[in-house]
Amino acid sequence: MKISIAQLNFHIGNFKGNLSKMLEAVETAKADGADLICFSELSTCGYPPRDFLEFEDFIKKAEDTVAKLAKAAIDIAIVVGSPSKNSVIEGKDHYNSAYFLEDGKIKQVQHKTLLPTYDVFDEYRYFEPASEFKVVEFKGKKIALTICEDIWNIGNENPLYTICPLDEMIGQNPDFILNLSASPFSVTQTEERIHVLKSNVERYGLPMFYVNHSGAQTEILFDGGSIAMSPDGHIFEELPYFEECIRTFDLAEVEKGGVQKEQPRDKIALIHDALVIGVKNYFGKLGFKKAILGLSGGIDSAVTAVLAARALGPENVRVILMPSQYSSDHSINDARALAENLGIQYDIIPIKDIYDTYMEKLEPHFLGYASNVTEENIQARVRGMLLMSFSNKFGNILLNTTNKSEMAVGYGTLYGDLCGGLSVIGDVYKTDVFKLARYMNKEGEVVPENTISKPPSAELRPDQKDTDSLPEYDILDAVLIQYIENQKGPKEIIEMGFDEKLVKRILRLVNINEFKRHQTAPVLRVTSKAFGMGRRMPIVGKYLA
């Protein structure tokens, strides 16, 4: 038996586009002589469809897509993920399902059992879990159909769940396992996933075909990396990361095992590729081509510009240098050098005149009040406004250049440097931004050395340095990781050896700046806990604040 797995980049709600992509893949699989082709989770409507699932019209369109796909299931079986209606009155209205299509019609439907409801996942908001488990019989083989999280409670050892779908099916003697996934990328996920697959095939002694979504859906990045795994726990083949790909396997070959093919998984390289695909798909799926961003000469905007140029092509990236009286010469030179290295269009617009006009109007009202953060914010906002003017006039999406460390402690100006349609490096800690820059330079200098090695500064007042307001980034990031990623409280973090006053100050800054993060662009997610939909915090609260 020959099995095709297709890791494709679906588009939420684009039923027509998703269908034609799948129909094309079916033809490819047929040409490969496949008996069966399997797509990823909720591939008719794209994952995650979020509250669109509450619209009957949306569900109807997904059902229509399955019906159309079923007609193509002639001389080949198709397994496709799509929402289905729960006909029982009690419980949620829908299931997250895997449809088995054969002979031009729907042969069988298996629902998802384990519904992740944590971090970026809201599945129990929409779906009822499966209560029936039945293998699919196909050409003399029995197939155990599972969906994503279903294989993440191996032998019921995951404390979140009380049922293990494969334990329920194993008595029916399946020959192999199919898993339809939409499993988001994070720097630890690729590794973990292989471990989970290995544990499953070893427990059941069966080969597994794992099909993951590949591509970005706004902030959530799916890395593909679909796998055919042999019963001995070897990776028979792993499909590439962040690419669409169809591959056909001979079941007998996979069953044999002994072959181990893995691809490199360097953390910084993965982040780099994830962010490039994130930018590329954000633009592509919105129907935009061109980006704009402000280049300060600092490392954050430099790294963002490089990612944009690699995602969209240098001809589609435009940058504006907006020096003020506090900008150092080297900043302008560094920014210009980067733009020239990348071959992107750049313009220089000094902000002094606009700033002065503002201050002239505000002066009578500010009489007797000392200069403070207000004046710094005005500079940042003049820049944001100029960039948005270019965005509006020429149809470029403004890219936000804030890193995760700054975003965490609120070191940024709302409606100023926090402007933008997409936050590219908002889930990358400053210490990793440096590593990204070095990685980008590995085949020759792209990011100017001076941009990497000079002390970070917002340049909003004379001789300003980030460390005037913030601790050194290596310490700041270490504390932030404990609080944000590991959800440790102040007591636990202090016990790790960090300074008490510093820890309390950092945690307080994180909490009181929730209002800023509430108003920022979607953040491309690369860690296990990114700002945005996966981290839901009250704005008005008093905890550690």
Q: Which residues are catalytic?
A: 41, 112, 148
Least separation in angstroms between residue 395's CB and its own copies is 10
Least separation in angstroms between residue 32's CB and its own copies is 29
Least separation in angstroms between residue 98's CB and its own copies is 22
C-beta separation of 312 from 304 below 8 A? no
Place of tokens 């009957």: 56
Question: Which CB atom, from 12 or from 76, has the smaller least distance to its own copies?
Answer: 12
Mode of pairing for the β-strands spanning 345-348 and 317-321: parallel
Least separation in angstroms between residue 47's CB and its own copies is 10
Q: Give the integer Cα–Cα distance in Å for 469 and 372.
A: 14
Number of Cβ atoms within 10 Å of the Cβ of 258: 8
- Measured at the alpha carbon of residue 494, what is the angle toward residues 490 and 498, in degrees to the nearest 5? 125
Question: Which CB atom, from 5 or from 53, has the smaller least distance to its own copies?
Answer: 53
Residues recorded for the chain: 545
Number of Cβ atoms within 10 Å of the Cβ of 213: 32
Least separation in angstroms between residue 435's CB and its own copies is 28
Largest CA distance in the chain: 87
Question: Which CB atom, from 251 or from 320, has the smaller least distance to its own copies?
Answer: 320
Question: Which CB atom, from 124 or from 442, has the smaller least distance to its own copies?
Answer: 124
Question: Which CB atom, from 256 or from 504, has the smaller least distance to its own copies?
Answer: 504
Q: Which residues contact 480 (CB under 8 A, 6 or more apart)?
A: 404, 405, 408, 409, 429, 506, 510
Q: Where are the alpha helices (DSSP H) in 326-429?
A: 329-342, 352-366, 373-394, 404-409
Q: How far is CA 423 from the centre of its chain?
A: 11
| C-alpha pair distances (Å), 70 with each of 80, 104, 188, 482 | 10, 5, 37, 49
Number of Cβ atoms within 10 Å of the Cβ of 121: 18
Least separation in angstroms between residue 57's CB and its own copies is 2
Question: Which CB atom, from 105 or from 125, has the smaller least distance to its own copies?
Answer: 125
